[in-house]
Each structure stands twice: as C-alpha cells, then as structure tokens.
Amino acid sequence: MQQTNPASTSKDFLLSVEGLTVSFDGFKAVNDLSFYVDENEIRVIIGPNGAGKTTVLDLICGRTKATAGSIRFRDKELTRMREHEIVHAGVGRKFQNPSIYEDLTVFENLELSFPRGRGVFGALAFKRDAEVVSRVEEIAEMIFLKNQLKTEAAILSHGQKQWLEIGMLLIQSPELLMLDEPVAGMSVSERVKTAELLHRIIQDHSVIVIEHDMKFVQDIAHRVTVMHQGKVLSEGSMDHVQHDPKVIEVYLGH
C-alpha cells in the first residue's frame, strides 16, 4: 500500500509512525502502517470493527510491543521505551472503556495523575499543596466535574467517567493525547459538551481520536485516517475520505 502522506517533505512531525507491524500469533493486526501527526493537529482514525485502531494506540503507548517498524515522538523512539517512560515523554492515553480508579474520589483520581511524586519515595513524600489543589480544580472545571470532586468515581455516569479519564490525561500536561472512542455511550447533550471540550483541548495539544460517530468526526477532525485490516486505506480531509471509492466500498461492504 502506498502512502498518501507528505513523508517526503523534511518537516518535523510530532509523531511519525513508519512501517509499524504487530503480529499476534501470525495474525497481523497492524500491517506496515505509516502515518504522521503534526503539532497541534487533531487526527481522527476511523475504520470498521477490528481494523486495528485500538492496537495502533496500544503500540504507541507501549502497551503492546511492535513486531517491526518505528514510532518516533519528537526525537524519542517509543518502541523501545516502557509505558511510564512514554507517559513522561508526553503521551497520554484514554482507553476504549473508561479506565478510572473506581474506589477513589474524583479529586483523588485527578491528583494521582498529577505529574509530581511519580517515584516510590516521591509518592510517599507527596504533599497535597495549593498548586495541586488548584490544578485539580481547574481541570475538574474543564471536564464538567467541579461539583463532583468528593464523589466516588464508581458512581459517576458513563459519560462522566469518560470525562474524568480525559481529565486524568489533561492534568499530566501531555503534548499528545490519544482518545479511544471518547463519546461512546454518551447522550446527545454529553456529546456536544465533549466536542466543546475537545475544541478547547486542541488549542494546546495534539490529539489522536478514534471514533465511529461520523457527525462527531466531521465536527472535530483536521485530517482523517481510515484503517482497514491493519493498513491505511485512505487519508486526508473528511470530505476527501468520504468520497474515496475504497472507503465507500469497505463501509458499505458490511
């Protein structure tokens, strides 16, 4: 598959994924995949179920080890780094199913994600000072949870859990956020608020979003990458990929 991206220009990308391949017992969930993300870009990855979208994020954040290929983030090769080091480098990841600490409060969830005291002894000595409190409150406000700070995360609604997890990423101040289906399971009004939130986020972050909701994609995407069977099927503006016959075939084919 040829690449439909400007790889030849010597521009510095925030994230360059090249020839990425992962094989699960011979099954190539991601197969020689390449794509590039610019600074302050909001990139949406779409594709049918099982296309390998989540697996790509798993590879970038170190949850799954690549069989071949490279993932460069700024000047760092992520394929050789451990998960928490990738986080320290500035990559945050939201999971497809909200992954938060159910037994802790909203405040504690955000506080644990605050980027200080990340070593064993740092965590023992960590003090909840004014800086932490004000940052937690600031983020809580952004994610519409400022009145729920003392609420146990387990009893939040599904949509609120999604927001909380986004907040947990934001407080890490990552350069690149990766969101796996952030509006899945959300009501219409929650979707609108989430789109609003994303628009605020992209002012100073680069974002990769996986999403199925086309209306939502249209609303936020700068560029769209369509994946199919572990490969890039098409890439470009929403308008471009929507009219790409290959994309139409795949989406109508099931």
- In the complex, which residues of this chain contact Mg ion (CB under 5 A)? 54, 96
String of contacts with ligand ATP for each residue 27-46, x by CB under 6 A:
--x-----------------
Q: Taking each helix axis as running N to C, give the angle between helix 158-170 and helix 106-113, from 0 to 180 degrees, rounded to the nearest 10.
A: 30
Q: How far apart are CA 159 and CA 154, in angstroms?
A: 12
Stretch that binds another protein, among 21-29, 113-121, 187-195, 207-215 (CB under 8 A): 113-121
Which of 2, 120, 203, 204 touches another protein (CB under 8 A)? 120
Stretch that binds another protein, among 26-34, 47-55, 109-117, 207-215 (CB under 8 A): 109-117
Contact flag: residue 64 with another protein (CB under 8 A)? no
Two structure tokens written together for 65: 């080890």
- Least Å distance, CB 108 to ligand ATP, is 29
Contact flag: residue 51 with ligand ATP (CB under 6 A)? yes
- Least Å distance, CB 45 to Mg ion, is 10
Amino acid at 239: D
Q: Taking each helix axis as running N to C, give the angle between helix 130-142 and helix 158-170, from 0 to 180 degrees, rounded to the nearest 10.
A: 130
Contact flag: residue 119 with another protein (CB under 8 A)? yes
Q: Which letter does DSSP use for residue 110 in this model? A: H
- Measuring CA to CA, which residue among 70, 71, 63 is closest to residue 95? 63
Q: How far apart are CA 153 and CA 132, in angstroms?
A: 19
Two structure tokens written together for 215: 């209306």
Q: Which stretches of the chain are DSSP H helices?
A: 53-60, 83-89, 106-113, 120-125, 130-142, 158-170, 188-201, 214-220, 238-242, 245-252
Q: How far apart are CA 228 and CA 251, in angstroms?
A: 10
Task: Scan residues 54-83 and list those touching ligand ATP (CB under 6 A).
Answer: 54-55
Contact flag: residue 117 with another protein (CB under 8 A)? yes
- Least Å distance, CB 12 to Mg ion, is 29
State the residue for tokens 């004000």.
134
Contact flag: residue 76 with another protein (CB under 8 A)? no
Two structure tokens written together for 202: 């992209």
Contact flag: residue 112 with another protein (CB under 8 A)? yes
Contact flag: residue 53 with ligand ATP (CB under 6 A)? yes
Q: Which residues bind another protein (CB under 8 A)?
A: 61, 63, 82-84, 87-88, 92-93, 95, 99-105, 107-108, 111-113, 115, 117-120, 123-128, 150, 152, 168, 172
Q: Which residues bind ligand ATP (CB under 6 A)?
A: 24, 29, 47, 49-55, 96
